[in-house]
Amino acid sequence: MALSLDAVAGGVVGEIPGSPGGVLAVADSWRAGARVLDEAASGVVSSRIAVPSWQGVSAEAFCSSSRGLDAGLDASIMSLLDGARHLEAYAQVLADAKEALERLRSLVSAALLEAVDAAAPEVLVAGVRYAAAGAAVGIRARVSIAAMQTAAALNAIGVGAGSGTGAGGVGAHGGGGVGAGKGKDDGTGDKTAFSDEDIRRLRRQADGSADWDPVDQADIGDCYFLATLDAYSLSEDGEQFLRDHVRWSEEDQAFIVTLYNFFGFPVEVKVTDYYTNGNQGDDLGGGRRGPNLMSVYERAYGQYLGDHNLPYGMPGNAMRAISGQYGPPVVDTRGTSGLLGAVREDHKYTDEEWAQIEQAVKDGRPVVAGTGGDFSDGSTASGATANTDADVADRQRPDAAIDGRDRTGDYQIVEGHAYTVIAIDDEYVTLRNPWAHNNTADGSDAEDDGIIRITREDYEKYFNRTDIGEEIP
């Protein structure tokens, strides 16, 4: 009887196709491929610096070509690692579902056995079977949704497509990622352990008894992530949300940062050091700087990504990793035309899109803008105003930092970069450059704090994409 009831239970519950181990094997192969490409990228860099005395047109052509190859390899590495993470997340969903289905099968078998032993009426037995079938359908539905989301994510990444664009792409053109850093190298190789002084300061920031300085990006091209962190830091709710997801563990002697994977499941990351060449943290005076809570998040995200490189990501992915909220809306300057709805780039936001950006900023939601617009005639924003007369109050109210004491003139907008959107009105958009400064039109440091106000026209021209996060949870 037990065997036949097990068979009935199995028929009611069914099976979930797919092998978590098989999916993980593919993810492992992609990570192995990324390591091979990483070695190749190192070889390209070595070849470029092996003969420093080589001069002339041929040398310049070789350097230009090798830099392009290096960038392409790095984009492919990031795509493979990103794809591996999505596959690993799906494998976990698949494994959890199979385990849940097995538990359900055991429960149904036991319930049917009890019903038979008790000579329960057929309607009760049918009810057990009906409820079990419904639960099984729900479990399989979660797997199906996860499979579709994973497939969509892998298509967006374009692993193996060789295009160099997409979520792991270089630059912001064509929907690719943004990742302009102030230095030439990605800088993630150097890490510094937290000192006792650092830990005391960071714990105070995490528990709400101290604030942190705005982000200050250095040699790692993770502007998209730092600009997103800065966007969360603009509101009290956002600051508290960040604090709520960092705790100190005495047992581990580490900060535990809670991030979220592709499916919105929490992932705890143990952080004991920070990127030496990453976010420059707080100004401690006397020329000293120390890591702040944003540095902890930056290191946690780097570890979450596989401890490889942070450059060339998307603000939307950063928002999802920070908040667990899926699919923040994206407003872009592409329109449609023609009977077939062909996409065209007109470098214009519609009135509805402007209203959407304005409302998001008003609501205190994170808003990050990417520069993948029209740089064909240069990168100058004319009539812009940088916060050259910064003071302490500007840190408390960055949306009101620009006033008559600041310098108005021509400033550079960085291509392939991400900025935090701070404020917007009928004429201007106020942004913060995560570099913690802007450059004048001639390329010199404007000696400001990164806050800059530009016209709506220049925003439309240079910023072709605006990522808008959900309301702070």
CATH code: domain of residue 402: 3.90.70
Whether 52 has a pLDDT exceeding 80, the answer reads no
Residues 261 and 347 placed together within one structural domain of the fold: no
Mean pLDDT on 391-406: 93
The total domain count for the chain is 3
Whether 403 has a pLDDT exceeding 70, the answer reads yes
Residues 343 and 302 placed together within one structural domain of the fold: no
**Residue in the structure block whose two tokens are 């780039």:** 345
Is 186 part of a structural domain of the chain? no
For residue 31, the model assigns a pLDDT of: 76
Residues 232 and 342 placed together within one structural domain of the fold: no
Residues 100 and 221 placed together within one structural domain of the fold: no
Is 182 part of a structural domain of the chain? no
Residue 417 annotated in active site: yes
Give dist(CA 54, CA 380) in Å, integer: 35
Give dist(CA 26, CA 84) in Å, integer: 8
Token pair, residue 370, equals 């990417």
DSSP at 400: G
Residues 162 and 132 placed together within one structural domain of the fold: yes
Residues 340 and 317 placed together within one structural domain of the fold: no
Tell me the CA end-to-end span of the chain in Å, nearest whole number: 51
Residues 338 and 304 placed together within one structural domain of the fold: no
Mean pLDDT on 247-259: 97
Give dist(CA 75, CA 416) in Å, integer: 14
CA neighbor of 273 nearest in space, from 251, 244, 313, 302? 302
Residues 314 and 335 placed together within one structural domain of the fold: no
Is 150 part of a structural domain of the chain? yes
Residues 255 and 357 placed together within one structural domain of the fold: no
Of the residues 323, 355, 370, which one is the last residue of a structural domain?
323
> Distance of CA 363 to CAs 315, 370, 470, Å?
18, 20, 10
Q: Do residues 182 and 213 make contact, with C-beta atoms less than 8 angstroms apart?
A: no
Whether 197 has a pLDDT exceeding 80, the answer reads yes
> Distance of CA 143 to CAs 104, 153, 195, Å?
16, 15, 44
Q: Please, which residues bridge with residue 219 across strands?
A: none
User: How many other C-beta atoms are found inside a 10 Å radius of the C-beta of residue 374?
Assistant: 14
**pLDDT-derived band at 179, boundaries 50, 70, 90:** confident
Q: What is the pTM of this model?
A: 0.67
Owning domain of residue 153: 2-167
Is 177 part of a structural domain of the chain? no
Is 173 part of a structural domain of the chain? no
Of 86, 223, 261, 438, the catalytic one is 223
Is 248 part of a structural domain of the chain? yes
Residues 200 and 303 placed together within one structural domain of the fold: yes
CA neighbor of 357 nearest in space, from 323, 329, 316? 329
Q: Residue 316: is it exposed, middle or buried by C-beta count within 10 angstroms (0-12/13-18/19+)? A: buried
Is 174 part of a structural domain of the chain? no
Of 86, 245, 308, 417, the catalytic one is 417
Is 395 part of a structural domain of the chain? yes
Residues 337 and 273 placed together within one structural domain of the fold: no
Q: Do residues 80 and 137 make contact, with C-beta atoms less than 8 angstroms apart?
A: no
For residue 3, the model assigns a pLDDT of: 44
Residues 201 and 259 placed together within one structural domain of the fold: yes
Q: pLDDT digit string (tens) for 268-306?
A: 999 999 999 999 999 999 989 999 999 999 999 999 887
Of the given ranges (191-200, 201-210, 305-314, 462-471), which has the lowest mean pLDDT? 305-314
Whether 339 has a pLDDT exceeding 50, the answer reads no
Of the residues 107, 134, 167, which one is the last residue of a structural domain?
167
Token pair, residue 321, equals 């990793």
Q: Residue 391: is it exposed, middle or buried by C-beta count within 10 angstroms (0-12/13-18/19+)? A: exposed
Of the given ranges (134-143, 295-304, 333-342), which has the lowest mean pLDDT? 333-342
Residue 433 annotated in active site: yes
Of the residues 114, 134, 167, which one is the last residue of a structural domain?
167
For residue 81, the model assigns a pLDDT of: 77
Of the given ranges (78-87, 386-395, 463-472), which has the lowest mean pLDDT? 78-87
What rounded mean pLDDT belongs to the chain?
A: 80
